[in-house]
Structure 1
Amino acid sequence: MTKRVAGTIINPEDAGTSFLVQQVAGQYKFYNLSVLENQTPLASVLWQLRHVVGIDVDQLRLYDSVVAQSGTENVSLFVFNHLKIDAAIRESCRQHGLVFVPARELHGLFESVKVNTIPSFENLSK
């Protein structure tokens, strides 16, 4: 079974905050990918954003990291801030099926992803 990881980039603007997402079968999803062999989930997201999407990940700042449940699958979800989202970044994302969508249009996505805010350390004792 391939381990999965998800990521998004927050883009705060005067008109409101938008999130980097992909649209799959008419529904928005966080950017979801496989964890690369011999890499951590975080390293896998950063590698994909840099080498596939073409984003300068040195400009990203980790905003949050949570374990989220999407359907029956638990994934690490990494949320980044980016120092400056410009037209070149938007176009590179678009070429890879990723778009920045205003948060007000993502209610279905936010409701479909269950976030566990309780540390998983207590599961280690079982």
Structure 2
Amino acid sequence: MSSNSLNRFRVRPAEPRDCTEILRLIKELAAFENMPNAVKVTETDLLRDGFGSRPFFQCLIAEANKDDAMQETDIVGFAMYYYTYDPWIGKLLYLEDFYVMDEYRGWGIGTELLKRLSQQSKPTAAACISLLLFGTSHL
């Protein structure tokens, strides 16, 4: 990772306007995992389920630009998560999906997404972050 790459991406909470890009990344991840037809969720589902009055998930977005300026950015990664409860350990943050586009890997974007997730768990006093990895090549 070059020192300039830190100035070429940012991580932020997803907004309703990001649903098109979130769905694109979900489909890219499914294709990467050789399951391109497995995605049934729609933009409407994402909007309702993530940004309605009682959200079922939360999402962090990574935006990047190949140039040094952050004038026009592309959404190149995401981390979708939700809070749940484990009767043995208490509150936890569950990382459902995590993906960074291939051409942006090595920039530190995945590391920053995970760092931000750990910060998200602190205000809720979540005991841990839980995730299940089927393969690590999409990280």
After TM superposition, the score normalised by the length of structure 1 is 0.26
Structure (1/2) with the larger strand percentage:
1
Q: TM-score, normalised by structure 2?
A: 0.24
Q: Whose relative contact order is higher, 1 or 2, with alpha carbons under 8 Å and at least 6 apart? A: 1
